[in-house]
Amino acid sequence: MKKIVLFASGNGSNVENIIQFFKNNKSVSIVGIFCNNPHAKVLERAENHKIEATIFNKTELNDTLVLEKLNQLQPDLIVLAGFLLKFPSHIIASFPKKIINIHPALLPKYGGKGMYGMNVHQAVIDNHEKETGITIHYVNENYDEGEFISQQATNIENCKSAEEIASKVHELEHEFFPKIIEKIIT
């Protein structure tokens, strides 16, 4: 049985999509959801699916608490699905090439500190881009600089707002993220 741990900070629509994708897969199990926001909707999703949730703060992420919990779970893959904090190097070192992230743009464009969610989509529209997309990549010590695993693009020439772009990017995330996770883990 391959074990996946999910990290999220907010709504958790990607988490929900990943859970649904693997729901009937007998060789993959979601063994935990980690969240740094005690008010995040993703915690409701964890409860609804009877998946253990771990709530932590930034200090606990950067000391040993989160690493100890991960070591207990021994995940085959750690998936950052809308997780907004920088991942600490001691966890990255403990799980080499086992931590992936999804970014709502075609990196290296629109990556780095502060570039998440609507900030990315607004920057894309402000710069009159003709396409955007998603990048799934391994996590390293720098925001959005890990080795690329997959990129998927979508045409946004007819989009008039950051919200329209967000909608198109979410479609890509939901279509491709679980498939790429499955490919990596199996």
pLDDT at 93: 97
Among the listed residues 103, 121, 128, 137, the single catalytic one is 103
Indicate whether 63 belongs to any domain: yes
Indicate whether 105 belongs to any domain: yes
pLDDT at 30: 98
Phi, psi of 38 (to 5 degrees): -65, -10
- Kindly give the confidence (pLDDT) of every residue in the chain, 186 residues in length, as a single tens digit, with 9 standing for 90 and above: 999 999 999 999 999 999 999 999 999 999 999 999 999 999 999 999 999 999 999 999 999 999 999 999 999 999 999 999 999 999 999 999 999 999 999 999 999 999 999 999 999 999 999 999 999 999 999 999 999 999 999 999 999 999 999 999 999 999 999 999 999 998
Angle of CA points 185, 89, 179, to nearest 5°:
20
Q: Computed from CA positions of residues 139, 144, 107, 21, in that sequence, does the dihedral angle turn out positive or negative? A: positive
pLDDT at 41: 97
Indicate whether 156 belongs to any domain: no
Indicate whether 38 belongs to any domain: yes
Query: Which domain, by its residues, includes 72?
Result: 2-114+136-151+176-185
pLDDT at 99: 98
Query: Looking at residue 15, which CATH number applies to its domain?
Result: 3.40.50.170
Angle of CA points 185, 80, 91, to nearest 5°:
85
The count of domains in the chain is 1
Indicate whether 165 belongs to any domain: no
**Known catalytic residue: 103?**
yes
Indicate whether 120 belongs to any domain: no
pLDDT at 144: 94
pLDDT at 89: 96
Indicate whether 119 belongs to any domain: no
In sequence order, the 6+-apart residues with CB closer than 8 A to the CB of 67 are 90, 91, 94
pLDDT at 98: 98
Decide: pTM greater than 0.85.
yes
